[in-house]
């Protein structure tokens, strides 16, 4: 280990920055965040440093560097554009056993600055010892996707409860088990979901229950989006990898399933028209039962859980049974598939509104508000409408929509299997038959479909095995 990793308090400590350019400006900004007393020595300074000076945040000496400038400094930064000056600063500071950082010269540094992920009071620092600052930044960016932005608030709550936990559990081994249960379970997720009051309530309940009672689990109702794994949110991926058991639908693509915790138990509850592997009420009860066993349950649903995803029905049952849950929205099929097909849902020249509709209702009919759906200057998007496409075409025409209205069928949208079939309202049923289009398919009807030929940009791969899309397609 070339450098000893350490976090040092520099609040109110004298720090000297030799140089006034962009590099010096970045270092000054970081030092100010840490509460240092900063002296800047340079004939010229950037506009940003001038703003620090105007705010009386720094002391500025508008001249060339002299050896006396380093006297009493806790940290020294050599950040001029003159290599000889930087080397002289480094040599003097090192001879005085002062810690010095030299811009772009790691061999002359006695300390290096890492790339920092700030979730105060949680700090994550990544360093390559000066060998590759760009790599350090890239690694830090990857960590950004893994560490929730509310991690600092979680740390604050744990600090708030430290003394209280000590009173309940005098032995260190007891406290360790308590905090492992708390942070591994719903408490942390409640904080990440913005429910800090509920998190404190849960901590109080856990203290009263002691260590012997099995904790309640939690349900993560996560939208898997339309199919492309790159469209998942950071939060979705994090929860997918934390789950103990995954309850998933037919329309979740295989690449997304592969991103979940490989050790999680997997339960398929897919549904398609007239063929429900597990009835909805049994899915609701299953989620409750699994959570009450103390498990972290990932309910993974294609698209967005709250847009024709029955997510509302599921969390009603969870609420009635006192099961904690959180909902992670996703890119819904209408937005994702239309974007990948080059069909904007709204456009000032073609459509000023958009309506989402389901292709079949709970009773199996397609009994919709047809007069509303035939309004001018709007785009219609039908989910799950493939089997009812003939009735949709017939009713829209019967209620005044032109038979020549452009229409599109987007099959397996956003995936490598995507196909876009262009038709008109009148020819939609025929297009379904002749193209052999299969579910999942989204139907878009409106003038905006005219833009597909000009705006389509996504080029999916051809001749990819259907098994690559999902284990349970039909």
Q: What is the pLDDT of residues 262-279, one digit of tens each?
A: 999 999 998 655 555 689
Contacts of 391 (CB under 8 A, 6+ apart): 366
Place of tokens 């459509």: 351
Q: Is 133 annotated as a binding residue?
A: no
**Whole-number pLDDT of residue 272:** 59
The architecture that CATH gives domain 218-331 is 3-Layer(aba) Sandwich (3.40)
**Whole-number pLDDT of residue 469:** 46
Q: What gap in Å lies between CA 204 and CA 161, rounded to an integer?
A: 9
Average pLDDT on 416-433 reads 96
Number of other residues whose CB lies within 10 A of the CB of residue 118: 13
Q: Is the pLDDT of residue 470 over 50?
A: no
Average pLDDT on 394-414 reads 97
Residue 426 CA: distances (Å) to CA of 148, 368, 370: 50, 18, 16
pLDDT, tens digit, 9 for 90 and up, residues 177-231: 899 888 887 889 889 888 899 999 999 988 988 877 667 889 999 999 999 999 9
pTM score, whole prediction: 0.73
Q: Is 49 annotated as a binding residue?
A: no
Q: What gap in Å lies between CA 24 and CA 18, rounded to an integer?
A: 8
**Whole-number pLDDT of residue 473:** 35
Pick the CATH number of 335-455 from 3.40.50.720, 3.30.950.10, 3.30.70.20, 2.40.160.150: 3.30.950.10
Contacts of 105 (CB under 8 A, 6+ apart): 83, 86, 87, 90
Q: Is 384 annotated as a binding residue?
A: yes
Angle between helices 47-54 and 22-33 (to 10 degrees): 40
Q: Give 472's pLDDT tier (boundaries 50, 70, 90).
A: very low
Q: Is 226 annotated as a binding residue?
A: yes
**Annotation says 27 is catalytic:** no
pLDDT, tens digit, 9 for 90 and up, residues 23-54: 999 999 999 999 999 999 999 999 999 999 99
Pure H helices in 341-421:
370-373, 389-398
Q: What gap in Å lies between CA 153 and CA 120, rounded to an integer?
A: 8
**Whole-number pLDDT of residue 251:** 87
Strands 99-102 and 441-445: unpaired
Q: Is 43 annotated as a binding residue?
A: yes
Q: Which member of 271, 273, 292, 394 is catalytic?
A: 271
**Whole-number pLDDT of residue 271:** 66
**Annotation says 271 is catalytic:** yes
Q: Is the pLDDT of residue 474 over 50?
A: no
Q: Which member of 69, 228, 235, 249 is catalytic?
A: 249
Angle between helices 172-184 and 151-168 (to 10 degrees): 140
Q: Is 23 annotated as a binding residue?
A: yes
**Whole-number pLDDT of residue 153:** 94
Dig out the tokens for 380 from the structure: 């219609």
Q: What gap in Å lies between CA 421 and CA 435, rounded to an integer?
A: 8
Structural contact between residues 229 and 252, judged by C-beta atoms closer than 8 angstroms: no
**Residue whose C-alpha is closest to residue 103's, from 70, 129, 81:** 81
Q: Is 405 annotated as a binding residue?
A: no
Dig out the tokens for 108 from the structure: 């002359």
Q: What does pLDDT average to over the chain?
A: 91
**Whole-number pLDDT of residue 240:** 94
Phi-psi region of 310 (alpha: psi -120 to 50; beta: other; left: phi over 0): left
Question: Which of 249-258, 361-370, 413-422 is the least confident region?
Answer: 361-370
Query: Is domain 14-113 in CATH 3.40.50.720, yes or no?
Result: yes
pLDDT, tens digit, 9 for 90 and up, residues 150-180: 999 999 999 999 999 999 999 998 999 899 8
Q: Is 413 annotated as a binding residue?
A: yes
Question: Which of 60-64, 213-217, 408-412, 422-426 is the least confident region?
Answer: 213-217
Q: Is 305 annotated as a binding residue?
A: no
Structural contact between residues 332 and 226, judged by C-beta atoms closer than 8 angstroms: yes
pLDDT, tens digit, 9 for 90 and up, residues 84-137: 999 999 999 999 999 999 998 989 999 999 999 999 999 999 999 888 889 999
Collect contacts of 143-151 with beta carbons under 8 A, ≥24 apart.
Answer: 143/117, 144/117, 145/234, 145/237, 146/234, 146/238, 147/117, 147/119, 147/122, 148/119, 148/192, 148/235, 148/238, 149/119, 150/119, 150/191, 150/192, 150/194, 151/119, 151/122, 151/192
Phi-psi region of 266 (alpha: psi -120 to 50; beta: other; left: phi over 0): beta
Pure H helices in 97-227:
133-144, 151-168, 172-184, 186-192, 196-209
Q: Is 304 annotated as a binding residue?
A: yes
């Amino acid at each position: 280990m070339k450098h000893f990793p350490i976090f040092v308090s520099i609040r109110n400590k004298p720090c000297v920055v030799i140089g006034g350019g962009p590099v010096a400006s970045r270092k000054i900004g970081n030092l100010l965040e840490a509460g240092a007393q900063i002296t800047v020595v340079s004939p010229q300074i950037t506009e940003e440093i001038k703003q620090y000076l105007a705010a009386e945040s720094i002391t500025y000496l508008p001249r060339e560097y002299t050896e006396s400038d380093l006297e009493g400094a806790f940290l020294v930064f050599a950040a001029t554009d003159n290599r000889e000056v930087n080397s002289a600063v480094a040599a003097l500071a090192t001879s005085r056993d002062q810690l010095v950082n030299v811009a772009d010269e790691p061999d002359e540094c006695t300390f290096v600055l890492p790339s920092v992920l700030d979730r105060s009071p949680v700090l994550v620092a990544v360093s390559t010892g000066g060998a590759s600052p760009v790599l350090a930044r890239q690694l830090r960016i990857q960590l950004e996707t893994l560490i929730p932005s509310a991690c600092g608030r979680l740390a604050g709550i744990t600090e708030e409860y430290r003394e209280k936990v000590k009173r309940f559990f005098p032995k260190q081994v007891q406290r360790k088990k308590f905090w492992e249960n708390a942070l591994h379970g719903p408490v942390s997720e409640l904080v990440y979901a913005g429910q800090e009051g509920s998190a404190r309530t849960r901590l109080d309940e856990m203290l009263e229950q002691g260590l012997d009672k099995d904790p309640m689990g939690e349900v993560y109702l996560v939208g898997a989006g339309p199919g492309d794994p790159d469209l998942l949110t950071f939060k979705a991926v994090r929860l997918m990898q934390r789950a103990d058991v995954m309850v998933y639908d037919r329309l979740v693509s295989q690449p997304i399933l592969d991103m979940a915790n490989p050790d999680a138990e997997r339960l398929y509850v897919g549904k398609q028209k007239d063929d429900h592997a597990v009835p909805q009420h049994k899915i609701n009860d299953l989620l409750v039962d699994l959570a009450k066993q103390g498990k972290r349950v990932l309910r993974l649903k294609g698209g967005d859980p709250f847009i024709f995803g029955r997510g509302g029905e599921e969390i009603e049952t969870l609420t009635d049974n006192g099961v904690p849950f959180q909902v992670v929205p996703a890119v819904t099929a209408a937005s994702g598939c239309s974007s990948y097909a080059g069909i904007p849902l709204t456009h000032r020249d073609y459509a000023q509104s958009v309506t989402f509709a389901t292709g079949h209702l709970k009773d199996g009919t397609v009994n919709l508000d047809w007069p509303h759906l035939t309004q001018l200057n709007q785009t219609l998007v039908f989910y799950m409408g493939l089997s009812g496409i003939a009735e949709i075409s017939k009713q829209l025409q019967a209620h005044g929509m032109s038979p020549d209205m452009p229409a599109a069928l987007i099959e397996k949208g956003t995936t490598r299997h995507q196909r876009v079939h262009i038709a008109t309202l009148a020819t939609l049923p025929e297009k379904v038959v002749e193209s052999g289009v299969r579910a999942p398919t989204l139907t878009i009807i409106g003038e905006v479909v005219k833009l597909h030929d000009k705006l389509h940009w996504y080029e999916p791969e051809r001749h990819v095995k259907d098994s690559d899309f999902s284990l349970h397609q039909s």
